[in-house]
Amino acid sequence: MKSNESIPFEQISVPGMLYACMVRAGSDIGQIRAIRTPPLPERYSLITADQLPFRNELWIGDMSIPLFAARSVSYRGEAVGLIIGPDPLMVEELASTSVVECEEREPFLDWHSFSSSHIAARIDFSRRKPAESDRSADKASLGERSTPAKTLEFSSYLNIEPHELTFHSGIGALAEWDYDKLKLACPTLWPEHVRSCIARMLDASMDDIEISMLQMYDSSELYSWYPSLLAARATAAAWALKKPVKLIVSGKREKKFLPCVHGISLHLKSKWSKDTRQLLHVECRFAIPIGAYSIFAQLLLEKTAHFAAGSIPETPISITGFAIRTDMVPMGALESISAAAIYGMIEAHIARASRAMDSGLLELSQSTFSKKEFSKNAHKNAEKEIPAVKIARPLLRQTDFYRKYAAYEQIHKRNPGEKEATLRAVSFSLAYQNSQALLPAGAHKVQIQLMLDRNLKAVLESDAAYSSERLKTALRLQISQNLKIAAAHISFENMQRPHPGSIPLISSSGMAIVSDLARRASDRIQRMRFREALPLAVRTYSIVKQSETLKKISGSPLRPSIGAAILEVEYDTRTAIMQQVRLDISVFAGKILSRALAKSTIRSASIEALRSCLVCTYPEQKDHNDIYDSILSQSIINVDIMEDEKASIPRPLGDLAYALVLSCFLGVLQQMNDSNRLMLPFRPASSVSVSGDMR
């Protein structure tokens, strides 16, 4: 394997390589009674937990998980071993026809109702009114005891089922031992995590582990911690057989057993003042399933809670959240539609309050999410200077939102007892990117080295070498603009020295920081060129404090982006299918390196969010899923990027598209049936509710 070779994982090979496929417990869970394989031809073998040369465990953060199920199977589809041989097709066939017999036990799958023994992590977040607000409220109560406060209260329930992570870059791992040195190749967006996990498993130095570059086409969170587990399995097999081993994962056979996006069960209440038209208090309780192993459980809770709390910084809020251990595949995606659920529900309540109080939707959204900013600019024409209003007003005007919204509302109210053949709905959403940099424990540093040689060719040495082609293209554009050289003369190399604590480049915050470091390094080299001879090299780094607040990073690359969206749907009540979907999104995202790449990023996340709202993972829903996949492929998605003239760096996008799409989708559902119980993926039968007991 060549360390600086960048080819797709499917094409990589080394002389004498063997292939491996996982044998999975595809039906039952419980104590393992037997692993039955077809007769294995010569040169084919089965490796299980009791044959491993190392301890059967891999540490992911503070969680230890087995490489292979040893005595019992914890979830349907867990790997119990590897079948290894020289022919990949034969290996796949042998693995797929193997059977794992278990002393069957009833799996725990209903994460909506649970006991304390199933709670893997918990968060309790509470924020009261500011002291000044308390004093003013006391004064008002003393002066106006005879006048009762006029308030509105809304209560609703949202359930989002777990769903698959999409990926397009292949998945697997190739391990080759060169005496006591280990060479690895696996699609990953967090190479230092792979290196540190394997080093801990082997009780070896990180300097003895080399990870090759591979072509990556997306930034799926499947490539966060899971490649470390695959690399560990391939490493153990290569050591046992003394030959290079390529572990391949069948997308068709094994996709349902891969890590997926956690769902959420959420109860939310909001209280509003009719007099001041302000949000007075938010209370919510939620539960998320994390699967059989509690990987990043506490971080997922913090992400979900802080996203919502950070969006309404001046509103009292109380949040109680649980991460529930279930007998399902390990789950979790830090940037996903489930993480934006509380935010989306708050926005749905804003739409209900706007309707009930006859208040402007845009004005109520802006005053709720950013009261200080709105109040300081309340004088005439000052709204034009507020970024949220600046992007929202043109969008509302271009889509003719207000006329459509009023017309659809009248249609729904005209015959409330009768069923229309076709229902149309439109909704508006305003969202701020998460204002806190919540990252896995120990991940806090990004560093790069940029070199420019005498031939005016630049090399960027960083973890960006393992990132998606989309990010590489954006970095090339930025460096080429600053150094005034052709983008084709810029290449990437992986960092030769271990650098623990690196931030995964799945996180949009990590991508923004890398982009900022590349800008700083190229600017510095450009200044040095006028007084120093080539070649030149500059090393820069950035350290991020965990849970750093927006107020402290207003001038940093972590400053959040702002977005607005309008979703319009047409629903056929006879076929129970949403026939047409149109989504318009406008984003204010700092400096734009490549408008086409930025639009592609937002569009991809928007389609993924829409799929989460419409497409189920259950086989019995396959017909509906095929229809919605076809409809989404033909849906109209317009993305407009607004550049900040004062910005010098791009800002993270992360949850923004998920929050916008989810908020809009909940809005159209409420407009169509005015229900307080919302189930996603959307199905007409979803009105049959889940209890959602969270004690």
C-alpha count within 13 angstroms, C-beta hemisphere, residue 360: 8
Claim to verify: residue 283 and residue 143 sit in the same structural domain: yes
Q: Is residue 254 part of a domain?
A: no
pLDDT at residue number 146: 45
Least confident of 259-273, 362-376, 385-399: 362-376
With H, G, I as helix, E, B as strand and everything else as coil, classify residue 35. strand
| 646 has a pLDDT exceeding 80 | no
Cα–Cα distance measured from residue 94 to residue 14, given in angstroms and rounded to the nearest whole number: 23
Report the 10 Å Cβ neighbour count for 6: 18
Band of pLDDT at residue 431, cut at 50, 70 and 90: confident
Going by C-alpha positions, the residue among 467, 479, 462 that lies closest to residue 505 is: 467
Claim to verify: residue 487 and residue 635 sit in the same structural domain: no
CATH of the domain at 468: 3.30.365.10
Could you give the number of structural domains in the chain?
3
Q: Is residue 426 part of a domain?
A: yes
pLDDT at residue number 218: 81
Q: Is residue 535 part of a domain?
A: yes
Cα–Cα distance measured from residue 488 to residue 508, given in angstroms and rounded to the nearest whole number: 25
Q: How far is CA 188 from the centre of its chain?
A: 15
- The encoded tokens of residue 18 equal 């063997």
- The encoded tokens of residue 152 equal 């509105």
Cα–Cα distance measured from residue 234 to residue 353, given in angstroms and rounded to the nearest whole number: 55
Phi, psi of 485, rounded to the nearest 5 degrees: -125, 165
Q: Which of 519, 545, 571 is the last residue of a domain?
A: 545
Cα–Cα distance measured from residue 665 to residue 653, given in angstroms and rounded to the nearest whole number: 19
Q: Is residue 248 part of a domain?
A: no
Report the 10 Å Cβ neighbour count for 560: 28
Q: Which of 295, 311, 341 is the last residue of a domain?
A: 341
- The encoded tokens of residue 185 equal 């190749």
Cβ-based neighbours of 76, under 8 Å, separated by 6 or more: 25, 26, 27, 28, 29, 107, 257, 327, 328, 329
Claim to verify: residue 272 and residue 419 sit in the same structural domain: no
Tokens 């900013």 found at? 373
pLDDT one-digit tens code per residue, 296-331 = 999 899 888 888 888 888 889 999 999 999 999 998
- As to burial, measured by CB atoms within 10 angstroms (0-12 exposed, 13-18 middle, 19+ buried), residue 561 is buried
Helix H or strand E encompassing 58: strand 58-60
Claim to verify: residue 572 and residue 682 sit in the same structural domain: yes
Cα–Cα distance measured from residue 677 to residue 414, given in angstroms and rounded to the nearest whole number: 23
Cα–Cα distance measured from residue 362 to residue 364, given in angstroms and rounded to the nearest whole number: 6
Claim to verify: residue 158 and residue 264 sit in the same structural domain: yes
Band of pLDDT at residue 497, cut at 50, 70 and 90: confident
Parent domain of 470: 445-545
pLDDT at residue number 145: 47
C-alpha count within 13 angstroms, C-beta hemisphere, residue 318: 7
Cβ-based neighbours of 473, under 8 Å, separated by 6 or more: 594, 597
- The encoded tokens of residue 415 equal 């015959």
Mean pLDDT of the chain: 84
pLDDT at residue number 61: 83
Cα–Cα distance measured from residue 173 to residue 185, given in angstroms and rounded to the nearest whole number: 6
Helix H or strand E encompassing 352: helix 341-357
Residue 180 identity: D
Claim to verify: residue 371 and residue 301 sit in the same structural domain: no
Band of pLDDT at residue 557, cut at 50, 70 and 90: low
| 413 has a pLDDT exceeding 80 | no
Claim to verify: residue 281 and residue 150 sit in the same structural domain: yes
Go through 148-170 and write b for each residue having 16 or more CB atoms within 10 A of its CB, e for each that does not: eeeebebebbbbbbbbbbebebb
Q: Is residue 184 part of a domain?
A: no
Residues of the chain by 3-state class (helix, strand, coil), percent to 5 = 35, 25, 35
Rounded to the nearest 5 degrees, what angle is found at the Cα of 539, between the Cα atoms of 590 and 4? Answer: 95
Cβ–Cβ < 8 Å for 254, 273: no
Cα–Cα distance measured from residue 121 to residue 113, given in angstroms and rounded to the nearest whole number: 15
Cβ-based neighbours of 608, under 8 Å, separated by 6 or more: 166, 337, 658
Cα–Cα distance measured from residue 692 to residue 157, given in angstroms and rounded to the nearest whole number: 9
pLDDT one-digit tens code per residue, 436-489 = 666 777 777 888 999 999 999 999 999 889 988 888 988 999 899 999 999 999
Q: Is residue 244 part of a domain?
A: no
Cα–Cα distance measured from residue 406 to residue 408, given in angstroms and rounded to the nearest whole number: 6
Cβ–Cβ < 8 Å for 303, 221: no
Q: Which of 341, 373, 407 is the last residue of a domain?
A: 341
Band of pLDDT at residue 434, cut at 50, 70 and 90: low
Rounded to the nearest 5 degrees, what angle is found at the Cα of 116, between the Cα atoms of 111 and 119? Answer: 55
Q: Is residue 284 part of a domain?
A: yes
Mean pLDDT of 601-612: 89
Claim to verify: residue 683 and residue 575 sit in the same structural domain: yes
Cβ-based neighbours of 556, under 8 Å, separated by 6 or more: 516
Going by C-alpha positions, the residue among 508, 480, 475, 506 that lies closest to residue 493 is: 475
Kindly report the pTM of this predicted structure.
Answer: 0.88
- The encoded tokens of residue 605 equal 């996340």
Residue 321 is classified by DSSP as E
Claim to verify: residue 567 and residue 665 sit in the same structural domain: yes
Q: Where are the beta strands (DSSP E) in 140-249?
A: 151-160, 163-164, 172-178, 181-185, 209-211, 245-248
Q: How far apart are the first and last CA of the chain?
A: 53
Claim to verify: residue 146 and residue 271 sit in the same structural domain: yes
Residue 246 identity: K
Claim to verify: residue 567 and residue 431 sit in the same structural domain: yes
Claim to verify: residue 540 and residue 578 sit in the same structural domain: no
Mean pLDDT of 195-224: 90
| 195 has a pLDDT exceeding 80 | yes
Cβ-based neighbours of 478, under 8 Å, separated by 6 or more: 515, 518, 519, 522, 593
| 376 has a pLDDT exceeding 50 | no
**Angle, helices 226-241/191-202, rounded to nearest 10 degrees:** 40
Q: Is residue 255 part of a domain?
A: no
Most distant CA pair in the chain: distance in Å? 91
Mean pLDDT of 342-357: 90
